[in-house]
Amino acid sequence: MGISERKARQQEELRQKIIQQSWSIIQKEGWQALSIRRIAEAIEYSIPVIYKHFQNKEAIQEYFIKDGFDKLTVEMLRVQQAVVGSEARLRQLAYAYWTFAASHTEHYRIMFGLGMPACETVNSISEIKQMSETMYRVIEDVAIEYQNGHLDLHLKMKTFWSILHGFISIELLSGNGIPDGPTPVFTDAIESFMFTLIHKR
């Protein structure tokens, strides 16, 4: 291994160390406790070294946002590919979203720290765009199967996402954590949404 390759590997190892320590602080104390100084002290490097990898705290947040949406998309794609039947696929997609939020709660908090992403944000961050497109395609499959392709599917996708995030937010605000499985109210809301895709007006 040449000198340049060794330096590149060392820099990547340091970057991963910064990410791991940042995540450790977030999990133990929450996002607000994270700072460049705290990270530098924890990994025993100077503050300027941290800035070589991340411009500021917000850049670290952006990393975790992208990583979170990437992980969520993987779960959605798994459902899309594994579940047979458009209705069952959409239902399981909703449950997978809930399960992700329950098992990756701190990640979810960071992903939606500023609320639902605006359209401009969705289109500018590829990881969010891929997740929303996956959600759209699953909704589209249901509408097409029931010959409701005339519906405003972008509106339906936004409505569906708002339902998912809304119920997760309620659980987060309760202070009791997100239950492992979807609540009856959440399930009822999903079934009501599916009704609007299946039945013609």
pLDDT value at residue 109: 86
User: What pTM, to 2 d.p., does this model score?
Assistant: 0.86
Mean pLDDT of 5-11: 84
**pLDDT above 90 as % of the chain:** 63
Length of the chain: 201
H/E stretch holding 113 = none
pLDDT value at residue 120: 58
10 pLDDT higher than 90: no
pLDDT value at residue 99: 96
Spatial separation of the C-alpha atoms in residues 178 and 197, rounded to whole Å: 28
The full DSSP string for 16-48 is: HHHHHHHHHHHHHH-GGG--HHHHHHHHT--HH
What confidence tier does 192 reach under pLDDT thresholds 50, 70, 90?
very high
119 pLDDT higher than 60: no
pLDDT value at residue 98: 97
pLDDT value at residue 118: 52
Domains (ranges, CATH) in the chain?
A: 1-54 (1.10.10.60), 56-198 (1.10.357.10)
pLDDT value at residue 130: 92
Residues 172 and 98 sit within 8 Å (Cβ to Cβ): no
Tens of pLDDT along 154-181?
Answer: 999 999 999 999 999 999 888 788 999 9
Scanning the chain, the segments in alpha helix (DSSP H) are: 3-29, 36-43, 47-53, 57-82, 86-103, 105-111, 119-124, 126-145, 153-174, 184-198
Please state whether 178 falls in left (phi above 0), alpha (psi between -120 and 50) or beta.
beta
Instruction: Using alpha carbons, select from 54, 48, 49, 52 the residue that is nearest to residue 22.
Output: 54
Tens of pLDDT along 47-102?
Answer: 999 999 999 888 998 899 899 999 999 999 999 999 999 999 999 999 999 999 99
What confidence tier does 187 reach under pLDDT thresholds 50, 70, 90?
very high
